[in-house]
């Protein structure tokens, strides 16, 4: 999985030098942080709605599609902030083996 995330990191970084007319991602970068945050919020809402739909109709494909959109737009946000998927995977690795209660308690320290 890291391979596809690293490939996306590279593509998202390269879009910073493209024109907004040539690239959807470049157009998001050009519109700034608020537009990117709005897209992440929209995708999060669509993910929640798709998850609720699974409970009603059992269609998991739509949920997978929406989570992919959410992940993608979150990666755009990270790239805009000069972060990458590696920053997130490193944080997840740091948390590996900690209970959720331990990790939460460590936040306040």
Superfamily of domain 2-98 in CATH is: MazG-like (1.10.287.1080)
Cα dist from 100 to 15, 85, 97, 103, 106, whole Å? 36, 21, 9, 5, 10
Give the phi and the psi of residue 97 in degrees, each rounded to 5: 90, -15
Q: Give the C-alpha separation, 63 to 57, whole Å.
A: 11
CA distance 14 to 16: 5
DSSP string, 12-31: HHHGGGS-TTT-HHHHHHHH
Q: Report pLDDT for 1.
A: 57
Helix, strand, coil percentages in the chain from 3-state DSSP, rounded to 5: 80, 0, 20
More confident residue, 98 or 89: 89
What's residue 104's pLDDT?
72
Q: Specify the pLDDT at position 101.
A: 77
State residue 74's pLDDT score. 98
Tens of pLDDT, residue by residue over 63-92, are 999 999 999 999 999 999 999 999 999 999
With a cut of 90, say whether residue 55 has pLDDT above it: no
> Domains of the chain: which residue ranges?
2-98
What percent of the chain shows pLDDT beyond 90?
Answer: 81
Quick: pLDDT tens for 20-41: 999 999 999 999 999 999 999 9
């Amino acid at each position: 999985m890291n391979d596809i995330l690293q490939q996306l990191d590279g593509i998202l970084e390269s879009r910073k030098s493209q024109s907004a007319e040539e690239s959807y991602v470049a157009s998001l970068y050009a519109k700034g942080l608020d537009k990117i945050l709005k897209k992440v919020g929209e995708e999060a809402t669509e993910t929640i709605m798709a998850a609720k739909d699974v409970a009603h109709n059992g269609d998991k494909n739509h949920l997978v599609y929406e989570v992919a959109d959410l992940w993608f737009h979150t990666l755009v946000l990270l790239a805009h902030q000069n972060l990458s998927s590696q920053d997130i995977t490193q944080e997840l690795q740091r948390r590996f083996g900690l209970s959720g209660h331990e990790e939460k308690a460590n936040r306040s320290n």
